[in-house]
Amino acid sequence: MTNQSHKTSVTNNLKLFSEAQQASLYVAHQIANLINEKEKQGKPAVLGLATGNTPKGVYQELIRLHQNEALSFKNVISFNLDEYYPILPDDQQSYTYFMRQFLFKHVDIKPEHTHIPHTDFSEEGIAQYCQEYEDKIESLGGLDLQLLGIGRNGHIGFNEPGSSFESKTRLVHLNSVTREDAKAAFGSMDKVPQKAISIGVDTISKAKKIILLALGKRKSDIMKLAIHGDVTTQVPASILQTLPQAEFVLDHGAAGEIKS
């Protein structure tokens, strides 16, 4: 599926930084500003959160803002993009564990306001669980901001190449490239899960603000395709070209293949 007729002006939505830390600080302050604005309005800030190495600097700055500059997370309701299936929440490779270690335990977010797909149950209940996850997001008026990383194969969340742009939260099969990249964390390929639960492309696309953060030279080839290539389900991140609320934030390494 390709669609070039609805491309937005990507150059207006592209922020380039010389260093990864600068890019991460920019994203963290975008999130902090939203939280503060929503607090002034007496409304919750509904955040879609990501895991992996890319957002760690963002979360470090958010923690600093909480500890040193009184940023409160009491009005934040969070939904994580994805989680491996099957995996236990206390497993050190789980995204539940990741979020606790790198953000949640350091700030004043209410535990009942954090949502991460639970995958420690049988496949029979997954469809209903995924629908309930979607319903929770929708009941809050959708995501105010979705933070994304990008896989080397162009995935956003665990929406692997071939994922429909109309996809919702569901059980997915992980691409070989994705599993290869996870091998170091799990110790060997046979320990890397073959499936995951992921928020869908359609769910991501409906967020009021979307920030895709890409850092490092190893992301430069896929960012060139995501920003300047065809809009195609083979590069799920390419759908962001068509969305005026989507912003690409890159450091020098990730922008290496993009012509000005």
Q: Residue 210: how many CB atoms within 10 A of its CB?
A: 24
Q: What pLDDT shows up at residue 122?
A: 81
13 is catalytic: no
pLDDT tens per residue across span 231-242:
999 999 999 999
72 occurs within a structural domain: yes
Catalytic residue among 66, 75, 82, 247: 82
Cα–Cα distance between 30 and 25 in angstroms, integer? Answer: 9
7 occurs within a structural domain: no
82 is catalytic: yes
Distances (CA, A) of 177 to 147, 154, 161, 162, 211: 22, 10, 10, 14, 23
169 occurs within a structural domain: yes
41 occurs within a structural domain: yes
Catalytic residue among 66, 75, 134, 155: 155
Catalytic residue among 153, 159, 247, 251: 153
pLDDT tens per residue across span 27-80:
999 999 999 999 999 999 999 999 999 999 999 999 999 999 999 999 999 999
Q: What pLDDT shows up at residue 3?
A: 46
Catalytic residue among 61, 83, 160, 251: 160
6 occurs within a structural domain: no
220 occurs within a structural domain: no
Full residue range of the structural domain in which residue 112 is found: 12-215+227-251
